[in-house]
Chain A
């Protein structure tokens, strides 16, 4: 039997133990198992065969994996340099005083986030079709030419995936910027107006600095999210043509669920985790997320 003093000492730990148990069960242990699997060869049944660092050695000599890393970095770059600014500009437009139909616009921009991926795949396959697609038809209508092979030409296919990312996620990010814009004190804009600042000056000297914490959060979220991009290339191109749009997450999926190489896929997962972690930490440090000035 435990003494009263000892029971009292243990009581707080007993109360907080469910969290640690669940944390260990659903986070620490799976990560540990993933790490262990990455050092084995395993098809999903039977006993994993220990292969040490073989999977990692193979991985860094695998041209497909390197292609996937480069593609993923391009997606990340596009998201940070195009999607985030686009979301900010749309938020700024939606925040304009006296804008009619604001809720309608918000809804319109948010719809892609809640739309079924199947519908998105169907729609965009049609939009991008070389012969019958909306985009080429529009190009032909406006400029008299429009024979772009959006999904069949490797560089255009990459751009097609990026445009889908832009369409799908800009509205979602706009919500964060809108919330940030609402929190900027109106007095600052009034003071800028009294000082004779124009719209551009006000944007760069009042809006942007005041939005820095939100921007930093959005940028980090986008970087980490895009580094794990799976749905867009999978829906639109299945990683093709060739491997032109293959992402790291797709590579992992492909190795695990079309080739049944779970150990190899786990090794790629570990590498992706390290990359995402480094991107996240670096972005956090550079952008100062969560730091009060």
Chain B
């Protein structure tokens, strides 16, 4: 009989298997992210990951222009990967752990950005863009959503200014003034309208937690409140938050606001199509991705204006959404990717290209005074000059501070907020409950 027993054999094969797996795992813990010398000029293939096809088109065009420009250091070829925004970050982290296969550039959606703030992921993988933006730093509109510990890791793709979209024809038909000064006045008009015609002047979401809280966040920021302050402290427990939630709950009860499970999905489209929803507070991208896509037949009937103010104060605009574009650091193509990002995001040509391809608003303050933008008329919105609205909005839009625990807060806030919108809970009670749940859930 052999002296190698079955048990010994299994033990040994187990050790070999463990060793085989441990090698790459340990290698991955080393944290390298790419090999080879840095490419400083000539042909370069940039690996770009994004969730947005219009961003892909923009970068392809921008890379071509940059390659063709006299004196350009790089001849760009773009290899693009398009996937769900969550999946992109998951894959980037996995590849980062494996030490290979990370992209050169990645678009990180604002709601996903807290993931790269956790565990030092952003700092380990992404390039600190502070020196890149230094020449235009004071001209940049939004940097806080993509900053970690005061350093910038992503450049905003779209300022995402929120405005009030409304059906001009329906407003005229129902004698609703287009320049109502405050939300409180508009809510009264909306309640009367709903009683008379069954129509609504806005929506609240009742589906998943992100949708529920997004509608609230938009108005809360406008009112002058917020989730977190610059230092990362929770600031939700505020009179502004209670006021905004109360405003929304009363709006739902009166019919001024329409409750829908998904603010961008099929029910919303149905409400738009049958004329039940004739106004909505939405970010700039809603024009292209919401209205023009879902109700093209209503071309010429919609207009937009700055938001009515809350009687208690606040801004004339808000913001919702956004995507920060980041460059992966310490890779052979880091310099080339940074050049491409600078050209596409920090120059007038790049910003205009982005505006043409996807309707992304400029992220540089100065461009809101530029004649090329100011003269732009939107056919869908009846030839309206968009920057008559966006320029003042850009000067009075709130700041949103990002936080690694944003998703914890959204989970904590969603349930109580929904109960408030359904009239089952008082706004102040819901805010207190959400704050308590957040504090108990956020962990270390």
Residues of A whose CB lies within 8 Å of any CB of B are: 6, 9-10, 13, 17, 20-21, 24-25, 28-29, 32-33, 41-47, 58, 62-64, 122, 125-126, 128-133, 149, 151-153, 237-244, 254, 257-261, 264
Is the C-beta of B234 less than 8 angstroms from some C-beta in chain A? no
**Nearest residue, chain A, Cβ from B33:** A45
Task: Give 25 CB contacts A-B under 8 Å.
Answer: A21-B20, A29-B18, A41-B444, A43-B119, A44-B96, A44-B97, A46-B31, A46-B124, A47-B29, A125-B261, A125-B265, A129-B270, A133-B267, A149-B259, A151-B206, A151-B261, A152-B259, A240-B209, A241-B415, A242-B415, A243-B415, A257-B115, A259-B408, A260-B118, A260-B121
The answer to whether B17 and A45 touch across the interface, beta carbons within 8 angstroms, is no
Determine the main DSSP class of B at the interface with A: helix
The answer to whether A45 and B125 touch across the interface, beta carbons within 8 angstroms, is yes
A10 and B13 CA atoms in complex are apart in Å by: 13
User: Shortest distance in angstroms between A105's beta carbon and chain B's nearest beta carbon?
Assistant: 29
The answer to whether B17 and A29 touch across the interface, beta carbons within 8 angstroms, is yes
Complex interface residues of chain B between 290 and 308 (CB less than 8 A to chain A): none
4 more contacts with CB within 8 A, not counting A240-B418, A260-B118, are A21-B16, A44-B93, A44-B119, A131-B271
Residue of A152, A260, A261 touching B422 (CB-CB under 8 A): A152
Residues of B within 8 A of A133 (CB): 267
Do A45 and B86 contact each other (CB < 8 Å), given the known contacts A28-B14, A131-B270? no
The answer to whether A241 and B266 touch across the interface, beta carbons within 8 angstroms, is no
The answer to whether A45 and B208 touch across the interface, beta carbons within 8 angstroms, is no
The answer to whether B29 and A46 touch across the interface, beta carbons within 8 angstroms, is yes
**Per-residue A-contact encoding for B1-45, CB less than 8 Å = 1, 0 else:** 110100001100110111011000100010100000000000000
The answer to whether A9 and B2 touch across the interface, beta carbons within 8 angstroms, is yes
Is the C-beta of B359 less than 8 angstroms from some C-beta in chain A? no
Residues of B within 8 A of A149 (CB): 206, 259
Residues of B within 8 A of A130 (CB): 259, 261, 267
Interface size range of chain B in the complex: 35 or more
Residue of B21, B207, B270 touching A152 (CB-CB under 8 A): B207
The answer to whether A132 and B270 touch across the interface, beta carbons within 8 angstroms, is yes
Is the C-beta of B414 less than 8 angstroms from some C-beta in chain A? yes
A63 and B96 CA atoms in complex are apart in Å by: 33
Is the C-beta of B212 less than 8 angstroms from some C-beta in chain A? yes
Is the C-beta of B100 less than 8 angstroms from some C-beta in chain A? no
Residues of B whose CB lies within 8 Å of any CB of A are: 1-2, 4, 9-10, 13-14, 16-18, 20-21, 25, 29, 31, 86, 90, 93-94, 96-97, 112, 114-115, 118-121, 124-125, 206-210, 212, 258-262, 265-267, 270-271, 276, 407-408, 411, 414-416, 418-419, 422, 437, 440-441, 443-444
User: Shortest distance in angstroms between B275's beta carbon and chain A's nearest beta carbon?
Assistant: 13
Residue of B20, B90, B94, B114 touching A25 (CB-CB under 8 A): B20
User: Shortest distance in angstroms between A36's beta carbon and chain B's nearest beta carbon?
Assistant: 11
Residues of B within 8 A of A257 (CB): 86, 90, 115
User: Shortest distance in angstroms between A149's beta carbon and chain B's nearest beta carbon?
Assistant: 7
The answer to whether A43 and B121 touch across the interface, beta carbons within 8 angstroms, is yes
User: Shortest distance in angstroms between B54's beta carbon and chain A's nearest beta carbon?
Assistant: 21
User: Shortest distance in angstroms between A205's beta carbon and chain B's nearest beta carbon?
Assistant: 48
User: Shortest distance in angstroms between B209's beta carbon and chain A's nearest beta carbon?
Assistant: 5
Do A24 and B13 contact each other (CB < 8 Å), given the known contacts A9-B4, A242-B415, A260-B119? yes
The answer to whether B260 and A241 touch across the interface, beta carbons within 8 angstroms, is no
Q: Top 6 closest A-B pairs, CB basis?
A: A43-B119, A242-B415, A9-B2, A24-B17, A238-B208, A152-B206
A77 and B111 CA atoms in complex are apart in Å by: 35
Max count, chain B CB within 10 A of own CB: residue among A10, A64, A131, A149: A131
Do A237 and B208 contact each other (CB < 8 Å), given the known contacts A125-B265, A152-B259, A260-B115? yes
Residue of B13, B124, B212 touching A17 (CB-CB under 8 A): B13
Do A21 and B207 contact each other (CB < 8 Å), given the known contacts A126-B266, A241-B418? no
A9 and B4 CA atoms in complex are apart in Å by: 8
The answer to whether B262 and A125 touch across the interface, beta carbons within 8 angstroms, is yes
A42 and B93 CA atoms in complex are apart in Å by: 12
A150 and B151 CA atoms in complex are apart in Å by: 44
The answer to whether B266 and A125 touch across the interface, beta carbons within 8 angstroms, is yes
The answer to whether B207 and A58 touch across the interface, beta carbons within 8 angstroms, is no
**Nearest residue, chain A, Cβ from B418:** A241
The answer to whether A240 and B208 touch across the interface, beta carbons within 8 angstroms, is yes
Residues of A within 8 A of B441 (CB): 62-64
Do A240 and B121 contact each other (CB < 8 Å), given the known contacts A125-B262, A152-B259, A259-B115? no
The answer to whether A129 and B266 touch across the interface, beta carbons within 8 angstroms, is yes
A86 and B29 CA atoms in complex are apart in Å by: 50
The answer to whether A122 and B86 touch across the interface, beta carbons within 8 angstroms, is no
Residues of B within 8 A of A21 (CB): 13, 16-17, 20
Residues of B within 8 A of A261 (CB): 118, 443
The answer to whether A45 and B207 touch across the interface, beta carbons within 8 angstroms, is no
Do A241 and B212 contact each other (CB < 8 Å), given the known contacts A13-B9, A44-B97, A260-B115? yes
